[in-house]
Amino acid sequence: MNEKVKVSLQERSYEIHIRRGLLNEAGAKIREVSEAKKILLLSVPKVYQKYGRMVLTGFSKNFDQVDFFLIQDGEVHKNERTLFSVIKKLRELEFQRDSCVVSLGGGVVGDLGGLAASLYMRGIDFVQIPTTLLSQVDASIGGKTAIDFQGIKNLVGSFYQPKRVLIDPDVLGTLDDRQMRTGLAEIIKCGVIRDPKLFEALEKNIDLFFSRDPVFLTSLIYRSALIKAQIISEDEREGGKRMWLNYGHTLGHAIESYYGFQRFTHGEAIAYGMWAAGLISQGMGLCTSKTTQRQYDLLKAVGLLNPAPKFEKERVYQKMFLDKKARSGQIQFVLTRKIGLVTIQKNVEKSLIFSALNRLQVEMTQSSIN
Ligand SMILES: NC(=O)c1ccc[n+]([C@@H]2O[C@H](COP(=O)([O-])OP(=O)(O)OC[C@H]3O[C@@H](n4cnc5c(N)ncnc54)[C@H](O)[C@@H]3O)[C@@H](O)[C@H]2O)c1
Ligand SMILES: [Zn+2]
């Protein structure tokens, strides 16, 4: 399967290529869209050890000067210090405007590489080679770049579109199950907001996901990338439709933050958020209980919505207002009408949110040990 998805943004348009074994051709595929003489591969040790050499070999055939730079792994390093270490490296290597940065790794490497490329000399070429499921279906697409600052996630960033996104599903072979599930949460989200067939495919064939069937995985990545690309093409900067992509994220972010970003991965947190959004939608009469139940059943079947310690509802509620997406003190909820169709709602009664939080509390604390 050789899939291409286009993100249409006039002169900033680009393609997302999805194919098994694509890592071997990364150099040639980047050469097609960049005139750069110098190229820097940015990665983390764990990913570089597995895939770095292969990518660099292809670079050497296509670029005059090839270098790599490794940053420390993990969200805690998505900060100004790492950002400026990358910029310093670009300076040391005497990168000019005709140079290119390539991020090989998960969303952390992608966000950092994109921001560094956007800042250095007011912008040099940038390419994404995402290696986690989450970054393949979400973080690498759409041009958002950022670092965390003073404890606030993604506070400092820019919109900077890559020249190309290269997705090789085979790299998922080394990703652990937890990281696979976190990416799957975003795929389920894509199904709920825009693609009922994708949702159904997951309901029917979830065992193919767990057995990591390469054809099934490639099709999931393709369909999710397509949905994100279409939405970005229609609304680059989150004025309207791009907000759909925040389905489950208002509460998901609050939960992530409440538990100090340690307990849950992003996908695990938004899984709670999606179910709660379903409950709120149902409470407002926007969707049937069957729609909410289908989301619950699928999330549960894939091993999300697991038990966790009790949370303080009022504090979680307050955290939703701190979400940078809460405009002028109002929470904007993306709510379900049916699988494949969502709507944005501004005024959601506190009682409805609390009743969803109550259900969540019961679900989360069931069989929890602490
Ligand atoms: N820019 C956006 O639009 C956007 C969207 C969503 C998330 N994000 C950001 O993405 C980040 C989360 O991304 P993530 O979940 O990919 O986390 P991550 O980048 O921290 O990667 C998770 C872990 O997987 C490892 N890893 C990566 N690829 C691997 C592979 N093929 N085999 C084995 N291990 C591998 C990494 O080294 C890391 O330890 C957050 O910082 C988030 O803010 C950005
Ligand atoms: Zn997300």
**DSSP codes, 303-339:** T-S-------HHHHHHHHHHSTT-BTTB--EEEEEET
pTM: 0.96
Task: Name every residue whose Cβ is closer than 8 Å to that of residue 271 and which is 6 or more positions away in sequence.
Answer: 185, 188, 248, 252, 299, 304, 305
Rounded Cα gap, residues 87 and 297, in angstroms: 46
pLDDT for 328 equals 64
Rounded Cα gap, residues 323 and 152, in angstroms: 10
Q: Which residue type, as a one-letter code, is found at position 255? A: I
Ligand nearest to the CA of 138: 1
Q: Which residue type, as a one-letter code, is found at position 62? A: N
pLDDT for 309 equals 85
Buried-exposed string 170-186: b where 16+ CB fall within 10 A, e elsewhere: bbbeebeeebbbbbbbb
Q: 54 with 203: CB under 8 angstroms?
A: no
pLDDT beneath 70, residues of the chain: 1-2, 323-329, 367-370
pLDDT for 87 equals 98
The pLDDT tens digits of the residues spanning 200-230 come to 999 999 999 999 999 999 999 999 999 999 9
pLDDT for 330 equals 75
Ligand nearest to the CA of 157: 1
Rounded Cα gap, residues 213 and 200, in angstroms: 17
- Ligand 2 midpoint to CA 8 (Å): 22
Task: Name every residue whose Cβ is closer than 8 Å to that of residue 122 and which is 6 or more positions away in sequence.
Answer: none
User: For the packed helices 266-283 and 289-301, what is the interaxial angle rounded to 10 degrees?
Assistant: 160
pLDDT for 327 equals 59
Q: 162 with 104: CB under 8 angstroms?
A: no
Q: Best mutation site among 108, 129, 262 for ligand 1, i.e. most ligand atoms within 8 A of its Cβ? A: 108
| Closest atom, ligand 1, to C-alpha of 130 | 28
Phi and psi angles of residue 41, each rounded to the nearest 5 degrees, phi first = -95, 120
Catalytic residue IDs: 122, 144, 186, 228, 238, 242, 246, 249, 253, 266
Q: 16 with 167: CB under 8 angstroms?
A: yes
Rounded Cα gap, residues 176 and 336, in angstroms: 31
pLDDT for 291 equals 97
Residue 131 CB–ligand 1 contact under 6 Å = yes
Residue 42 CB–ligand 1 contact under 6 Å = no
pLDDT for 326 equals 60
Q: Best mutation site among 103, 135, 152 for ligand 1, i.e. most ligand atoms within 8 A of its Cβ? A: 135
